[in-house]
Structure 1
Amino acid sequence: MEAVVEQIFPSLTWRIRHIAMYPDQPYDFVKLENDFEGTHFGLYLNHELTGVVSLFVEGTVGQFRKLAILPEAQGHGLGKQLMEYLIDYCQVQNLTKLWCNARVNAKEFYLKFGFVATDKTYTAAGYDFVIMEKEF
């Protein structure tokens, strides 16, 4: 699959987040308070926005949130391509650490990229999460 990753405007992430992550919640549920302070990336497959991820940086530490691929496009390596792009971007920006609140059922996915699960876990919106980190 030929996909391209580009920086996108924050509001473009909302539709993908809603469909892929929280289809049963109201649309506004997927909007983050600080969306307009972050850097957002969109993965375009055949010129259609198919995946998104949002990065928020404090100092030299980045947190990515809301990595989402449309359900019909999952399982084809698009999430992997988006993560590799994000990690490369963070390294170019000289970040020292990247972390996320990973859904427990996605933990194995993040382990493949060198993330380590911490002992910090919680439950929100009906999902179990674990905080995962990657040092650069």
Structure 2
Amino acid sequence: MVQIEQIFPSLTWRIRHEAMYPDQPFDIVKLKDDFEGIHFGLYADHKLTGVVSLFYEGDVYQFRKLAVLPSAQKLGYGSQLMTYMIDFCKIQKATKLWCNARVQAKEFYFKFGFHETDKVFSKDGNDFVIMEKEFTH
């Protein structure tokens, strides 16, 4: 059984750390604006398994730190979080949803209607491209 619900920001940190930065200090996963964002947790059999954080300015939304526990990856949980978040943005009348996507994860985002921009950068040894999805209402 899978459930997705809004969660408190600090609940995202353990999942982010285990999934994205296991070799880094724990505090690296804390975002300075975490307490201004909207955070969703995916519970698989009542265990917090995946998270994503959403931030917005006006009607433009950015998601950050989409993470699923390593032991639960490739089970569709990331896709379920994406679908939930996209639906949430539609309800909020967002005009755009964007992210800094790891270049090796581009294909994942294409499945949800995102397109690549020409904005690319490198950070902490990873290459990123900004990807966007437009909404029409």
TM range (shorter): over 0.9
Q: Deviations over 1:97-126 (max 9, x none)?
A: 000000011100000000001011111111
In 1, Cα distance between the equivalents of 2:122 and 2:93?
32
2:69 partner letter: L
Local SS of the residue matching 1:13: helix
For normalisation by structure 2, the TM-score amounts to: 0.98
Q: Deviations over 1:43-83 (max 9, x none)?
A: 00000000000000100000000000001100011100000
Gaps of 5+ in 1: none
Q: Which residue of 2 aligns with 1:115?
A: 114
In 2, Cα distance between the equivalents of 1:125 and 1:42?
26
1:3 partner letter: V
In 1, Cα distance between the equivalents of 2:105 and 2:132?
14
* Identical aligned residues as a percent: 71
Q: Which residue of 1 aligns with 2:92?
A: 93
Does residue 53 of structure 2 align to residue 19 of structure 1? no
Q: Which residue of 1 aligns with 2:130?
A: 131
Q: Indicate the RMSD between aligned Cα atoms, in angstroms.
A: 0.5
In 1, Cα distance between the equivalents of 2:50 and 2:111?
19
Q: Which runs of 4+ in 1 moved over 4 A?
A: none
In 2, Cα distance between the equivalents of 1:19 and 1:126?
18
Structure 1 position 3, deviation (Å): 1.0
Q: Which residue of 2 aligns with 1:72?
A: 71
Structure 1 position 20, deviation (Å): 0.2
Does residue 36 of structure 2 align to residue 34 of structure 1? no
In 2, Cα distance between the equivalents of 1:125 and 1:23?
14
2:21 partner letter: Y
In 2, Cα distance between the equivalents of 1:94 and 1:63?
14
For residues 36-75 of structure 1, what are the structure 2 equivalents within 5 Å?
Answer: 36-75=35-74
Aligned residues: 135
Gaps of 5+ in 2: none
Does residue 105 of structure 2 align to residue 106 of structure 1? yes
In 1, Cα distance between the equivalents of 2:5 and 2:125?
31
